[in-house]
Amino acid sequence: MKRLLTVQDISCVGKCSLTVALPIVSVMGVETCPLPTALLSGHTAFSHFSFRDLTDEIPKIEDAWGKENISFDTIESGYLGSIRQIELVRELGKKFRKSASCLQIVDPAMADGGKLYTGFSQEFVAAMRELCRDADVIVPNLTEACLLTGRVYREDADPDFWKEVLADLAGLGCRDVIVTGFRKADGIGVMSLHQENGKTTCGTYLNERLPESFHGTGDIFASVLSGALTRGWPLQEAQKLAVDFTLECIRRTMEDPQRRFYGVNFEQALPMLLGRMNKAEQEKGQA
Ligand code: PXL
């Protein structure tokens, strides 16, 4: 079984980061090792939240894993709480990417809707840019992509603007760049750029755009994508599954009159994810 390391916080209530990555990547048949970077009562979009920093634990965990000769097929990181934590993830990558096939996936979770999340600065953005340089795959939304490439965020960005942003992000050195939130007519999805054997392919994948947006959907997208890439799926298929599953979670949330304000109903959509995975892998087996 493939093994994935996911480095991000655990927010007890809020349906984001580790509470999303653990069930999603596990249901995709990948061993999921969490490295919690902080313990929060809820994510930082709540009016009140507690925050216990776990940075000091990271080198101790790293040291123990080194002695046990642990390795990972994928190292994925999401929300990180400080520049020091970004540096530690870079160190983890250098230490635990023992084979060339080990993937590093970075979701530079730090901003949305044109704004940095509470507590982040331009210095943090600069450090995140360096982590993105180490990655094979990065998954920013358009706000994060603009921050990483030194652009002013534009709500009404046209496809040419998106293509320029993607080209600049690829210039950081990552093989694959997937920017989420690409819109066209009634659709929403991703625009991505894939580099292989000196060839660059740019593509989009869209599905239906529902009239509401919810917190935590970026984490859901990144988890599905990471699970599928770890299972060896090609980028185009992995991003399609991630877009479709995220939409399914939003649809289920909107249908529920008793929905929570802070996250989406991904739990009851998990059978769909498993069904899609099994069907695709069966078809591959038969091919
Ligand atoms: O969904 C990204 C995320 C993860 N973890 C924490 C957050 C956020 C976004 O606000 O606050 C703690």
pLDDT at 252 over 80: yes
> Do the Cβ atoms of 4 and 74 come closer than 8 Å?
yes
pLDDT of residue 98: 75
pLDDT of residue 264: 97
Nearest residue (by CA) to ligand 1, atom 8, is 43
User: What letter does residue 208 receive in the DSSP assignment?
Assistant: E
Q: Is 45 in the pocket of ligand 1 (CB under 6 A)?
A: yes
Nearest residue (by CA) to ligand 1, atom 12, is 43
Cα separation values, 124 from 36, 38, 178, 223, Å: 19, 17, 21, 23
Q: Is 71 in the pocket of ligand 1 (CB under 6 A)?
A: no
Looking at the CA of residue 16, tell me the nearest atom of ligand 1.
1
d(CA 39, CA 177): 29
Residue 29: φ, ψ to 5°: 80, 30
User: What letter does residue 64 receive in the DSSP assignment?
Assistant: H
d(CA 143, CA 175): 20
pLDDT at 134 over 90: yes
Cα separation values, 267 from 8, 216, 245, 258, 277, Å: 20, 13, 11, 15, 16
pLDDT at 118 over 90: no
Who wins on pLDDT, 56 or 197? 56
Cα 39 to middle of ligand 1, angstroms: 11
pLDDT of residue 29: 97
pLDDT of residue 23: 98
Looking at the CA of residue 216, tell me the nearest atom of ligand 1.
1
pLDDT digits (tens, 9 = 90+) for 70-84: 999 999 999 999 999
Residue 24: φ, ψ to 5°: -70, -50
Sorting pLDDT into bands at 50, 70 and 90, what band is 154?
Answer: very high
**pLDDT averaged over the chain?**
96
Q: Is 217 in the pocket of ligand 1 (CB under 6 A)?
A: no
Instruction: Look up the pTM and report it.
Output: 0.97
pLDDT at 47 over 80: yes
pLDDT at 279 over 80: yes
Phi-psi region of 129 (alpha: psi -120 to 50; beta: other; left: phi over 0): alpha
Averaged over 41-46, what is the pLDDT? 94
Cα 204 to middle of ligand 1, angstroms: 26
pLDDT digits (tens, 9 = 90+) for 85-102: 999 999 999 998 877 789
pLDDT digits (tens, 9 = 90+) for 190-248: 999 999 888 999 999 999 999 999 999 999 999 999 999 999 999 999 999 999 999 99
